[in-house]
Chains A and B, each alone.
Chain A
């Protein structure tokens, strides 16, 4: 497809288990973002990848959260030893590189993974 694809769309797991969420960005988009959205709230930045540069991990809430990206393609967000407060929708977005004065480009979002921790 042409859009950002996330899987699984829903994930229910027990407290203490590890989960891995996947994001397939739009082809050619060098920037990739992960956000967390709790019910009825706005988007909380988690991590940002841009090409081969070191990722900006400043939004990760704890060391239980980590993310990887292979080149400019798929990214995975891993949450270890899940807690009930990790329950949320995890959204991935990608954007194209832009050039010069148009270095900022809009983000295109997937529909998210709804994570529920029992």
Chain B
């Protein structure tokens, strides 16, 4: 079956630095990808999504990059703030599939 995994389970960054969280996927048929942020005691919160017809999408302080050749997804957070500390999940989906497949998550800690 499909698998979604993250390269780094934990990441610590200084406040104000940029953060990069990576995600690998194995299903070449996946055509929709989402990044979620999960704070302690809360449900995952949608950050940004990208479809396979794009390789980059920007939001407020966040950018998602999709490299379909190597099946790699990344989330870049600019000027990381203490409030960005959380676990970040990537999720993939195919247009014909019901299920979203989630990675195990990367824990981001921002050091003030």
A11 within 8 A of B: no
| Contact call B43/A91, Cβ cutoff below 8 A | yes
CA distance A91 to B91 in the complex (A): 15
How many A-B pairs fall under 8 Å by CB? 50
Could you say which residues of chain B place their CB within 8 Å of the CB of A112?
Answer: 43
A71 within 8 A of B: no
Closest Cβ neighbor of B92 among chain A residues: A104
| Contact call B43/A111, Cβ cutoff below 8 A | yes
A62 within 8 A of B: no
Could you say which residues of chain A place their CB within 8 Å of the CB of B25?
Answer: none
| Contact call A111/B95, Cβ cutoff below 8 A | no
A50 within 8 A of B: yes
CA distance A93 to B42 in the complex (A): 13
The chain A residues found within 8 Å of chain B, CB to CB, are 4, 33, 35, 41-43, 45, 48, 50, 56, 58-59, 91, 93, 103-104, 106-112
Nearest 3 Cβ contacts at the A-B interface: A109-B43, A104-B32, A43-B102
The chain B residues found within 8 Å of chain A, CB to CB, are 31-32, 34, 36, 41-46, 49, 51, 89, 91, 93, 95, 98-105
